Amino acid sequence: MVITYSSFPTTSSTIFDIGNYSTKLLNIEPKSCINSSFPSPPKPLLISTPLQGGNFPVILFLHGYLLFNYFYSQLIQHISSHGFIVVAPQLYLVEGTDTTTDIKSTAEITNWLPDGLHRYLPSHVGPNLKKLALAGHSRGGKAAFALTLGKVTNTTPPVLTYIPQSFNLDMAVMVIGSGLGEVKRDPLFPACAPKGVNHRDFYNECVRPACYVVAKDYGHVDMLDDETKGVRGKATYGLCKNGKCREPMRRFVGGIVIAFLEDYLKGNSSDLMAIKDGYVTLPVELQDMDFRM
């Protein structure tokens, strides 16, 4: 069963604003599909799809540790409004530190996409699975790297090898970091993206083509929705060192992801090169940027 949560209106904009496609959020629960002829997804899915007809690239987006996929609703609708279908599974509700189950579940969802995804989209919208991207936030990013590296059965030893450019991915990679992610909010708790296991370390192991950007003065969860409710939602405001507000970081993440996907999935490098060369005004100030083309 598919439930419409909300939609974004059409507007003319840059990559850092809502795009030209109206979007719809769809919620698919596996249990509701038991008596359906449609193949049931392995996990609950939140999907943002354009409403206008066409075939669109697909992004599989993995949430961060102990977060809900709907905490990213504004971000995935932003990306979708520029002509992409974003599939955000809820990989777990309660989980330990081992990401093995996350990786296996992501592989199962990927295998479900060819036969299952199109059945839940509007009839005039099609997924172009020849143009498929995998993305993730925090723990979800680690799972994405592990899956593409073929570490499906175990994450021990860790994904990181600490050998520069050792990831043989045979695909383009973008790593986005936050300047405040490695800063402790409270002396009693560790940083949310501590040095030694954060964005910088993952980028150091990527081979070209790879892009790396770090937003200054923003934190590890500042790309989430403006308001995240419930106990876990409230925790996102208190556990990590955060910026003043979430909107600029979320717009930046959405926009630069769109620029990257436009380049490597659609062959249009103009926005990404404009960012690289400093010809565009960004919603945030950058702390670091590196491109291995």
Residue closest to 106 by CA, chosen among 85, 92, 125, 126: 92
pLDDT at 34: 52
Spatial CB neighbours of 50, under 8 Å, sequence gap ≥ 6 = 21, 22, 23, 56, 80, 81, 83, 84, 85, 125
Residue closest to 79 by CA, chosen among 174, 147, 188, 1: 174
| Pair 55, 128: CB distance under 8 Å | yes
Tens of pLDDT, residues 47-86: 999 999 999 999 999 999 989 999 999 999 999 999 999 9
pLDDT at 1: 35
pTM of the entire predicted model: 0.93
pLDDT at 209: 96
Torsions phi, psi for 128 (to 5 deg) = -95, 90
pLDDT at 153: 56
- Residue limits of CATH 3.40.50.1820 in the chain: 1-159
Query: Under CATH, which number does the domain 1-159 receive?
Result: 3.40.50.1820
Tens of pLDDT, residues 26-55: 999 997 555 567 889 999 999 999 999 999
Q: In the structure encoding, which two tokens stand for residue 248, read together?
A: 């600029």
User: Does residue 293 carry a pLDDT above 50?
Assistant: yes
Q: What percent of the chain has pLDDT over 90?
A: 83
Categorize the per-residue pLDDT at 4 as very low, low, confident or very high, splitting at 50, 70 and 90: very low
